[in-house]
């Protein structure tokens, strides 16, 4: 089978049977949610080891999450190529939820893309917004562009991290579009499944984090998007690869790494906004 065939789910077994197999083979955390959940680190490490050793497809990983925590898992959609996650979720045939962080400083193209994705998939994105008081205090004290002077952490904290924390506190798991090849400095050790080391879930329980695209390359994701004719952010046609807030995102030149277009004035190992701060605690290749 070609790698693209693998990503498209072209396997001998029918898709529904492959999904059932994955769910049956990994029942370990099934019953922990009947009580206050404390996930066992060794158990989750074994789970992700099994998934990665068996080249488990993104669709199957998402199906596992949706089966284990029905209605209590959210797919984090950034308005970029992680639209692939929504397509994989749709292909499972299971109900799923999608949420996005509206920081108030996204590109107009990204807002139009949100609308396009909702219409294409027939879903409603759950939008998360910053607390007005947090943004008001920051801007009134430091101005609109303080991050160019003292770093992006404070602004991202108000506009992204705290809204995400609030959202995740209502869930038991979340699914992200992180890939290892997105950032050699901060994402080389991303696992397919892990206990979130930064955020807690509903009732202050451990939160399971799934990164189905961890071992998939950018080229493979884009082959998937193009082959299926999925909608994509029009900024990609203008040289933008990694897309975030307008003041902190720029197009990249040929052969530049995609992460060079984010917070370009800061050192490369600091280019995480807080959503995946746990990556900063992992060993770096640099």
For the annotated catalytic residues, the residue numbers are 273
DSSP 171: -
Distances (CA, A) of 222 to 46, 48, 148, 213: 30, 25, 31, 12
Lookup: tokens for 111: 């807002």
Beta strands in 78-185 (DSSP E): 97-101, 126-128, 173-175
81-99: burial string, b at 16+ Cβ within 10 Å, e else = bbbbbbbbbbbbeeebbbb
76/175 Cα distance (integer angstroms): 6
Distances (CA, A) of 139 to 94, 158, 216, 262: 42, 11, 38, 21
Q: How many residues does the chain have?
A: 286
Q: How far apart are the first and last CA of the chain?
A: 35
For residue 73, the surrounding DSSP H or E stretch is strand 73-76
Q: Give the residue among 156, 82, 155 at the shortest CA–CA distance from 113.
A: 82
DSSP calls for 197-243: SS---GGG---EEE-TTTT--HHHHHHHHHHHT----GGGGGT--S-
Give me the phi and psi of 250, to 5 degrees please.
Answer: -140, 160
């Amino acid at each position: 089978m070609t790698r693209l065939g693998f990503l498209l789910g072209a396997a001998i077994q029918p898709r529904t049977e492959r999904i059932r197999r994955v769910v049956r083979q990994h029942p370990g955390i099934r019953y922990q949610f009947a009580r206050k959940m404390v996930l066992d680190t060794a158990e989750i490490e074994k789970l992700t080891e099994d998934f990665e050793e068996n080249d488990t497809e993104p669709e199957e990983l998402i199906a596992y999450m949706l089966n284990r925590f029905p209605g209590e898992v959210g797919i984090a959609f950034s308005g970029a190529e992680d639209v692939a996650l929504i397509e994989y979720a749709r292909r499972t045939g299971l109900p799923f939820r999608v949420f996005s962080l509206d920081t108030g400083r996204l590109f107009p193209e990204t807002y139009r893309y949100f609308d396009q994705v909702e219409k294409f998939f027939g879903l409603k994105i759950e939008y998360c917004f910053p607390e007005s008081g947090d943004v008001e205090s920051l801007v009134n004290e430091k101005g609109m562009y303080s991050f160019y002077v003292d770093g992006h952490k404070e602004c991202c904290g108000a506009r992204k991290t705290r809204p995400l924390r609030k959202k995740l506190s209502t869930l038991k798991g979340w699914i992200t579009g992180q890939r290892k090849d997105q950032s050699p400095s901060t994402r080389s050790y991303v696992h397919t499944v892990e206990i979130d080391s930064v955020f807690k879930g509903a009732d202050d329980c451990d939160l399971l984090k799934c990164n189905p695209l961890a071992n998939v390359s950018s080229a493979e994701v884009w082959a998937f998007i193009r082959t299926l004719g999925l909608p994509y952010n029009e900024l990609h046609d203008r040289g933008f690869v990694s897309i975030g807030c307008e003041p902190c995102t720029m197009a990249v030149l040929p052969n530049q790494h995609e992460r060079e277009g984010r917070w370009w004035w800061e050192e490369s190992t600091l280019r995480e906004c807080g959503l995946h701060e746990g990556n900063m605690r992992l060993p770096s290749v640099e």
